[in-house]
Structure 1
Amino acid sequence: MIDSVQGYQKVIVELCISLVIITCITFFSGCVDRTDNSDEQNITIGIILPLSGDLSDFGQNCLNATLLAVEEINQKGGIASKGGKKLEIIIADSKGVPDIGANETKRLITEEKALALIGAYQSSVTIAATQVAETYNVPFIVNVGLSDVIIDRGFQSTFRICPEIEIYSSSKVQFLDYLRQLSIKPINRVALLYENTAYGTASAFSERDLLKKAGYEVVSDVSYAADKVTSLHDEVNGTLQAEPDAIFITTYLKDAVLIQRELSNAGFSGPVIDTAGGTISEGFIHELGGAANGVFSVSEFSKHTSYGVVLNERYRTQFGTDITGDGAYTYQAVIVLKDALERAESLDTESIKKAINQTNIISREMIFLPDDVIAFDSDGQNSYEKLSMMQIQNGTWITVWPARYAGGEVILPKLIQN
């Protein structure tokens, strides 16, 4: 068991070391003035994702969504206000490593001449990549990356589509309140079990505070290193010894599988609620089969809504599987960028950045998330984010809460049925 404060401090130290390295990289290379790109035939956009390593499935989902959005935009005539210029995507693999993400960001800017960037799925990589983009004054639209360090540094070039971490945590607590109303057995004792990078520790930090404010008792707080883990038997066993009524997890794929396998083997039948992590991957259900049933996760996208059905059908036709929440955020990021490029006075990074900052999308034809509006506040945060909750039922994800996004009813875990 790792003390949560020590874990959080460890992440901050690691981030500081990474930022020192990145600062050196960008200082000695110097800032560049990205001049007008109007003479080029295409508009070059960079996408940074983990396309190899343990998180490659998630990265591929995001890349697929990017390719779909770009293909649709180009087939419909490109950027109309810029003479029909087409979008050209240059792909970079962060390999899930912050320093690689930083170097790839620099390459996309200085060598590939990208006028805007999208990425980078992981909080730690996104923190590093946006630091470089800020130095070069190139707009960076964050598709996924939950740590609030990303938007709390006062950067002028960073814009985040996905919600603040507190929105995820609040959704989990609100959903637990909802389960409390439905259950026969009281739900009072909650355990936290999470991976220890910026993503997991920020999530746990927020959950801990919100749970206590809502009157729950946090009975266990356990973190682990997801990139090195081969077994989570001790961590799960320690969690269960605290006799929780529910368990909040924050995971990537490999650790999510290990956790649920241990919980299933131990016979735990209470609510297990993830932070849109590894449990939402198709690999999670594939690895666990029936043992995956009943798990809950926060979701950024519902295929059961009228607008969700349309996007999901297009994605499924192209790639043979449902789009994930991460993919939906990435698709939306491309649409936001397309909208900004149409409004930008010229094709230089400053004009594009200004146009992104002035985003105010209200048309449902351009919004594929639960949000009613997409606009950025002074920190670059999308201010109108909404989330839902999914449950694995009969081997598939079903949105179950709130009712306006739901495609089915909650199946109560056995522990709280009696």
Structure 2
Amino acid sequence: MKKMLKKSILSIAALVMIVSLLAGCGGGKDSTAGGSAGDIKVGVLFSLSGSLAVTEKGMANAALLAIEEINAAGGINGRSISAVQEDYASEPSGAATKAKKLLQQDKVAAIVGGYTSASRQAMLPIVEQANGVLVYPTFYEGQEYSKNIIYTGATPNQQLQEFVPWLMDNVGKKVYFIGSDYVYPVETNKQVKELLKLNGGEVVGEEYVPLGQSEFASVINKIKEAAPDVIFSDLVGDSVAAFYKQYKSYGLDPAVMPIASPVTAESEVVSMGADVAAGHISSSAYFQTVDTPENAKFVEAYRAKYGENEPITQVIEATYFSTLLLAEALKKAEDVTDAEAVIGAFAGLEMKAPQGTVKIDPENNHAWLNSRIGKVGADGQFEIVQSTSEPIYPEPWAKILYPEHEKPWKK
């Protein structure tokens, strides 16, 4: 009996050894995140709860849709992507904690995530210390570069250099600023002011309110007194719908004094209602009404998965194409656990996204993007009134503000 048991144990050991040898005969280096054969892990890090969930849930949905499509098309050189989804609950500190978990515990090849600049700035040192990869798909204020981050949202020059002159020519030159009190509105408005100077514009008022502000009576009274031609709004979150609704209730008219914004998108239009939004103007790389074959396919796929009435915004579209670009970078990288190889693989990547052609600048890790101006119609959709024919070069440090700034990516 003992001899038979010993013989069985030896047979099992031999079988394990043969299987191990066969598994090693592929000759290729194991490039799966975490170092084990199988799926490649990618972190999907957005707020699924809290005050920003109204925006970020759609971003998470877009990343998951893209991953589903990537896997259906054969994955990453025959290997599937496995999404590791986390909720940072609209708290920047939560973004840092979850990013650390994804990189150190889950061993993801990259993270797609973040909405506010506060969330990105909280994640940045974590990602750099872990030598990880973060793909950040939100428009932002610029003035930043990290070798570990791929920035696929618009920089201010991409949203403003066409927008401000158009407003001066088509609406008027007197501008009143209203924004949420944090880094993005303040820094964005610095560039708007410089563009106003170049185009004969005038600032007639400027106001910043706390994040989440919902009462605007005193601000609207100040606006009425200042009598601007246009109100430039970079309010975010729940404040957007509240401000637009109160604008209408106070009898202000978009035909006389429209609200112009680089932030207000389809999701905010749904929140406030088409009757409130009609006549107001936004600048964006993408609107749901963009007429490209890629956008028709994207809108159809997104609505089939998440519902016919789900609004699709610039940050949703950016998250979608960002995840597709990440897949292409992972395919090119010899080792997806090597952040430098993955980041290097992004350089110069180009694709036809729903918005049109986008590409990653090989020097500054930012995306060349399109620029569009849209006016909300009675149906709640943006009518595109102006569009660039080619994507615009991203300026993390806008020349208009920082002409002599030393570019850190050239050090």
Q: TM-score, normalised by structure 2?
A: 0.80
Change (3 A) 1:354 1:402: same
Structure 1 residue matching 2:179: 3-state secondary structure: strand
Equivalent residue number for residue 348 of structure 2: 359
Equivalent residue number for residue 129 of structure 2: 135
Distance in 1 between residues matched to 2:33 and 2:63, nearest whole Å: 24
Change (3 A) 1:403 1:135: closer
**Unpaired runs of at least 5, structure 2:** 1-30, 390-411
Structure 2 residue matching 1:148: 3-state secondary structure: coil
Tell whether 2:339 aligns with 1:342.
Answer: no
User: Are the equivalent residues in 2 in contact too, given 1:44–1:113 (CA < 8 A)?
Assistant: yes
Distance in 1 between residues matched to 2:387 and 2:365, nearest whole Å: 30
Equivalent residue number for residue 311 of structure 1: 298
Match of 1:68 among 65, 68, 78: 65
User: Are the equivalent residues in 2 in contact too, given 1:146–1:164 (CA < 8 A)?
Assistant: yes
Distance in 2 between residues matched to 1:331 and 1:161, nearest whole Å: 10
Equivalent residue number for residue 355 of structure 2: 369
Equivalent residue number for residue 198 of structure 1: 183
Change (3 A) 1:38 1:107: closer
Code of the residue aligned with 2:214 in structure 1: it is: T
Structure 2 residue matching 1:318: 3-state secondary structure: helix
Match of 1:85 among 60, 67, 79: 79
Structure 1 residue matching 2:161: 3-state secondary structure: helix
**Unpaired runs of at least 5, structure 1:** 1-33, 181-186, 406-418
Match of 2:45 among 44, 48, 70: 48
Equivalent residue number for residue 210 of structure 2: 225
1:143 Cα offset (Å)? 0.6
Equivalent residue number for residue 4 of structure 1: none
Distance in 2 between residues matched to 1:71 and 1:118, nearest whole Å: 15
Match of 2:200 among 185, 209, 215: 215
Code of the residue aligned with 2:325 in structure 1: it is: V
Distance in 1 between residues matched to 2:98 and 2:162, nearest whole Å: 34
Equivalent residue number for residue 90 of structure 2: 96
Size of the alignment, in residue pairs?
Answer: 352
1:257-336 alignment, distance < 5 Å: 257-269=241-253, 270-275=257-262, 277=263, 279-302=264-287, 303-306=289-292, 307-320=294-307, 321-336=310-325
The percentage of counterpart residues that share the same residue type is 20
Per-residue CA deviations over 1:256-311 (Å, capped at 9, x if unaligned) read 11211222122222121111x2x324354343451221121122224332222221
1:164-203 alignment, distance < 5 Å: 164-180=155-171, 187-203=172-188
Change (3 A) 1:232 1:356: farther
Code of the residue aligned with 1:330 in structure 2: it is: T
Code of the residue aligned with 2:330 in structure 1: it is: L
User: Are the equivalent residues in 2 in contact too, given 1:106–1:133 (CA < 8 A)?
Assistant: yes
Per-residue CA deviations over 1:180-206 (Å, capped at 9, x if unaligned) read 4xxxxxx12111111111222122222
Change (3 A) 1:150 1:117: farther
1:357 Cα offset (Å)? 3.9
Superposition misfits of 4+ residues, deviation over 4 angstroms: 34-38
Equivalent residue number for residue 236 of structure 1: 220
Determine which structure has the larger helix proportion and give its number. 1
Tell whether 2:246 aligns with 1:246.
Answer: no
Tell whether 2:141 aligns with 1:147.
Answer: yes
Distance in 2 between residues matched to 1:390 and 1:289, nearest whole Å: 14
Distance in 2 between residues matched to 1:121 and 1:403, nearest whole Å: 25
Distance in 2 between residues matched to 1:354 and 1:95, nearest whole Å: 28
Q: TM-score, normalised by structure 1?
A: 0.79
Tell whether 2:384 aligns with 1:400.
Answer: yes
Change (3 A) 1:304 1:239: same
Equivalent residue number for residue 107 of structure 1: 101
Distance in 1 between residues matched to 2:160 and 2:73, nearest whole Å: 39
Equivalent residue number for residue 416 of structure 1: none
1:178 Cα offset (Å)? 4.6
Distance in 2 between residues matched to 1:235 and 1:50, nearest whole Å: 30
RMSD: 2.1
User: Are the equivalent residues in 1 in contact too, given 2:176–2:223 (CA < 8 A)?
Assistant: yes
Structure 1 residue matching 2:112: 3-state secondary structure: strand
1:121 Cα offset (Å)? 1.2
Distance in 2 between residues matched to 1:214 and 1:102, nearest whole Å: 41
